[in-house]
Amino acid sequence: MSNQPRLDPFRKSDFFEDGTSARPLPAGTVPRGFLREDRAFHAGLGPDGKFVADLPIRLGPEVLHRGRERYDIFCSPCHGRSGDGQGMVVERGFKRPASLHTDRLRAERIGYLFDVMTNGFGEMSSYAAQVPPGDRWAIAAYIRALQLSQGVPAALLSPADLARLEEAARSPDRPPPGEGK
C-alpha cells in the first residue's frame, strides 16, 4: 500500500491529452460552504446591483448588542466609541478616519457600510477575514443606531427626554443623562 501508482499534482503526465496530472474543476463547482447565493446578505447588493437600503437580517436587541460588541472590538480603535473618528489610533499619531456622523455617511444605504467593512476603503483595510457577514451586518445596524443617537431631531424626542436635554444644557458641570451613575 505504501508504493501505489499515483500522479503528483501539477506534474507532467502522459495519461491525459493536455499533458497535466491535475484535472480542472467542472464548471459551476462551488467549494462546500461557500455558495453565497444571497447577494444581499453576502455582498450588500440588491438585484439591481446597487447597495441594499434595508438590513437583510432581522433586527432586534440581540443584533444591536452583538453589533456594539463587534464595533467596540474592530471599529472603535479608529472610529472611536461614539463614531466621531477620534479613536486611540489618532492619539498615537495615525491619520484621523472619517466620522460616521457626516451627512454623506448618514445618507448612504446600509449596504455601503457593509461593503466598506467587507472590501475596505481608502486607508481602511478589509475586515472580511476577521468579521463574518452576520457580524458585519450587526455592526452596520449598530452604526445606524450611533448615527441616530448623535443626530435625533428635537421633534422626535418625547417631552420627558426633551426636558432632560434642556436641563442638561442649563447645567454644563453635570454629566449628560445616563452617565456618571
Q: What is the pLDDT of residues 139-161, one digit of tens each?
A: 999 999 999 988 777 888 889 98
> What global pTM score does this model have?
0.73
What letters, b where the CB count within 10 A reaches 16 and e where it falls short, cover 78-90?
bbbeebbbbbebb
Half-sphere exposure of 85 (CA within 13 A, CB side): 11
What is the residue extent of each domain of the chain? 59-151
> pLDDT class for 4, splitting at 50, 70, 90?
confident
Separation of alpha carbons 105 and 87, rounded Å:
18
Q: What is the pLDDT of residues 12-50, one digit of tens each?
A: 888 888 888 888 889 988 888 778 889 999 999 999 999
CATH architecture group of domain 59-151: Orthogonal Bundle (1.10)
**Helices 61-70 and 133-150, axial angle in degrees (round to 10):** 90
